[in-house]
Structure 1
Amino acid sequence: MSNIIKLKSLTKYYGNTLGIENVTLAVKDGEIFGFIGPNGAGKSTTIRTMLDLIHPTSGTASIFGLDCQTDGESIRQDIGYLPGEVFYYENMRVKELLEYSASFYKKDCRARMMELSAYMELDPSRKIDDLSLGNKKKVGIVQGLLHSPRLIILDEPTSGLDPLMQQKFFDLIREENKKGVTVFLSSHILSEVQRLCHRVAIIKEGRVIDIRKMDDLRENTYQKVRVVTSDSLEGFSLPGISNMTASGKNVEFLYKGSSNKLIAALSPLHLHNLWIEEPSLEEIFLHYYKDGDSDASVSA
């Protein structure tokens, strides 16, 4: 399977301020790839460098096997891009804006434009400056997909959308992916990544610290354990336990290790109830962001 995106040692400094450093990753044809990290981690800088909106300090970026700096115009014909914040000519109507956007592509986009507008419940006759934040985001979604791109790049795509419209958007992206479209999804809302992606890269302070399959990220990680017991757990310990908290009879902790060893360690206690669950991606993610302790975090 060929790579649609390939970044090698991609670095961007703003003067003396680090944007990203040595970002290296590859996105395969037809996958949904998550790029996760908190605000300020370097996600948007990476995307803007890929799109040749800003120039790298060093390193290389290629899309469709073409260099992002020298072949940007050709590359952008087959990319759909939705930025985190959308800004438009306020006096234009939605239809006028979408037709203007469609004019940059060497194909007839009118049918797809109207299909997407109907799906996203967007009225093309309305003026841009009369739209809510959520409806402006819908305009951005239609604008990014109206030319049926081979690659969709989404930077914090659901901000402003209500939960029902977020679900419609996720369904739309899945349908595009089923057609063979590659998706690069940048987000700090980890449930979005958990819902959609095949693989994820985790970026911390401008540096990619891990790239894993989503299934591996869940399976080779901590278990979330909750115990209800009338016994005291003072002195209770087992290698692999962390983040233990107690409230009355309820005790919660994360555990990495053998489930058999965990059950054996808990068996002497008088248990009223026991839950062993898969942690959310949010909980996994927090371990990657322990101050100064990325090696001791979740190995996923």
Structure 2
Amino acid sequence: MTSTPAIETVGLTKRFGDFTAVQDVSLQIGPGEIFGFLGPNGAGKSTTIRCLLDLIRPSEGECRIAGLDSRKDAVEIRRHLGFLPSDLALYPNLSGRETLEFLANLRGGVDWAWVDSLADRFDADLGKKVGELSSGNRQKVGLIQAFMNRPEVVILDEPITGLDPLVQLEFHTLMREHVAEGSTVFLSSHTLSEVERVADRVGFIRRGHLIAVERMSELLDKALRRVTLEFSAPMPAAAFEGIEGVHSVEADGATVTAQYEGSMGPLLRAATAHDVLSLESSSVDLDEIFLEFYRDEVTEAEGGDAPEPAAASSAAERA
């Protein structure tokens, strides 16, 4: 397997007038990797992708795909690339198959046995006109065209929009098969739960700044848990602050909610010094884990106080 990065950005910056959409983003993504690119809507994900594809030009920095310069070698890159945009637009009067034939001809032909196998796997109806298809079925056509030339690099922007859970599972299987052959998938999403099932590494972008890049396995190793304790009398949060492994504590009358990592023992010992009526434990979402461990970086990127994890998660979903 080649050591040349499948996707690389060096100091990528894109400004629109006085607004900086992407600021000094440097990434290296290797062959045979599923890379999740995560951030709320408006964070700079699609701008980064458009620069990679030479759909817009960077204000500063460089972009490369399969070792080729995104600007100088834009035509050659298309021979190695599959792409699904977030705002997929197809000709409404063409059927799904006619759409794929049109795109295949632009590519110089494809293996139609492979295309038909993809259509079977996604249960895609290619006989209907695209304009008559539901959003989920149009998305299936988009996924097929992204993979139909067996590209070295696939860039997917919010790919599971409209897909039912069974098709999502088949799509995840296809991605794993694709990278097992040495190809690369760049998966952009605003939902961490979408990529945590399949990504090898994840990059977090907020307000145009690349906050962190983590191996998914290492991020999961940082997994926090949340415990909600109900006491017989009001309990101050201060009673649990500074306990080993405890990251945050909130108190609301007799209810105390704490996030912790590692053993629950120290927290339980402090709790059982009081009259505990009930205890409930659950996992913390990975986006909350991210915000907890990278609070300072988020604060710097957003130019103010870092949001509380739960509030930030909700805001990201609304954005």
Task: Answer whether TM exceeds 0.5 for this pair.
Answer: yes
What is the aligned partner in structure 2 of residue 255 from structure 1? Answer: 260
Asked if residue 33 in structure 1 is aligned to residue 38 in structure 2, the reply is no
Deviations 1:54-99 (A, max 9, x none): 1000001111111111111111211111111211111111111101
Deviations 1:26-77 (A, max 9, x none): 1111111111000000000001100111100000111111111111111121
Pairwise CA distance, 1:143: 0.7
What is the aligned partner in structure 1 of residue 250 from structure 2? Answer: 244
What is the aligned partner in structure 2 of residue 182 from structure 1? Answer: 184
Pairwise CA distance, 1:18: 1.4
Comparing 269-278 with 70-79, greater Cα deviation is found at 269-278
Pairwise CA distance, 1:179: 2.4
What is the aligned partner in structure 1 of residue 273 from structure 2? Answer: 268
Residue 197 of structure 2: SS of its match in structure 1? Answer: helix
Partner letter of residue 63 of structure 1? I
Comparing 254-263 with 61-70, greater Cα deviation is found at 254-263
Partner letter of residue 162 of structure 1? D
Pairwise CA distance, 1:162: 2.1
What is the aligned partner in structure 2 of residue 206 from structure 1? Answer: 208
2:162 to 160, 163, 168: 160
Report the RMSD for the aligned CA atoms in angstroms: 2.4
1:53 to 46, 55, 65: 55
Asked if residue 194 in structure 1 is aligned to residue 200 in structure 2, the reply is no
Q: Does the CA contact (< 8 Å) of 1:3 and 1:29 recur in 2?
A: yes
Cα distance change of structure 1 residues 296 and 127 upon mapping to structure 2, 3 Å threshold = closer
Pairwise CA distance, 1:271: 3.6
So what's the TM-score if we normalise by structure 1? 0.89
Pairwise CA distance, 1:273: 4.7
Cα distance change of structure 1 residues 71 and 149 upon mapping to structure 2, 3 Å threshold = same
1:43 to 42, 45, 52: 45
What is the aligned partner in structure 2 of residue 119 from structure 1? Answer: 121
Q: How far, CA to CA, are the matches of 2:48 and 2:276 in structure 1?
A: 49
Residue 235 of structure 2: SS of its match in structure 1? Answer: coil
What is the aligned partner in structure 1 of residue 313 from structure 2? Answer: none
Residue 107 of structure 2: SS of its match in structure 1? Answer: coil
Q: How far, CA to CA, are the matches of 1:219 and 1:278 in structure 2?
A: 12
Cα distance change of structure 1 residues 243 and 41 upon mapping to structure 2, 3 Å threshold = farther
Residue 3 of structure 1: SS of its match in structure 2? Answer: coil
Q: How far, CA to CA, are the matches of 2:308 and 2:137 in structure 1?
A: 43
Q: How far, CA to CA, are the matches of 1:258 and 1:155 in structure 2?
A: 38
Pairwise CA distance, 1:257: 7.0
Comparing 48-57 with 214-223, greater Cα deviation is found at 214-223
Pairwise CA distance, 1:296: 10
Q: Does the CA contact (< 8 Å) of 1:102 and 1:109 recur in 2?
A: no
Ranges in structure 1 where 5+ consecutive residues have no aligned partner? none
Q: How far, CA to CA, are the matches of 2:129 and 2:291 in structure 1?
A: 42
Q: Does the CA contact (< 8 Å) of 1:12 and 1:57 recur in 2?
A: yes
Q: How far, CA to CA, are the matches of 1:87 and 1:243 in structure 2?
A: 47
Ranges in structure 2 where 5+ consecutive residues have no aligned partner? 310-319
Residue 196 of structure 1: SS of its match in structure 2? Answer: coil
Q: Does the CA contact (< 8 Å) of 2:66 and 2:153 recur in 1?
A: no
So what's the TM-score if we normalise by structure 2? 0.84
Asked if residue 283 in structure 1 is aligned to residue 288 in structure 2, the reply is yes
1:172 to 171, 174, 177: 174
Alignment: residue pair count: 296
Q: How far, CA to CA, are the matches of 1:218 and 1:266 in structure 2?
A: 27
Q: How far, CA to CA, are the matches of 2:239 and 2:5 in structure 1?
A: 49
Cα distance change of structure 1 residues 2 and 294 upon mapping to structure 2, 3 Å threshold = farther
Residue 103 of structure 1: SS of its match in structure 2? Answer: helix
Q: As a proportion of its length, which structure holds more helix?
A: 2
Q: How far, CA to CA, are the matches of 1:23 and 1:190 in structure 2?
A: 20
Q: Does the CA contact (< 8 Å) of 1:199 and 1:214 recur in 2?
A: yes
Q: Does the CA contact (< 8 Å) of 1:6 and 1:63 recur in 2?
A: yes
Pairwise CA distance, 1:269: 3.0
Comparing 141-150 with 111-120, greater Cα deviation is found at 111-120
Partner letter of residue 258 of structure 2? F
Comparing 287-296 with 229-238, greater Cα deviation is found at 287-296
What is the aligned partner in structure 1 of residue 152 from structure 2? Answer: 150
Deviations 1:264-286 (A, max 9, x none): 33342334554554422132245
Residue 183 of structure 1: SS of its match in structure 2? Answer: strand
Q: How far, CA to CA, are the matches of 1:160 and 1:295 in structure 2?
A: 30
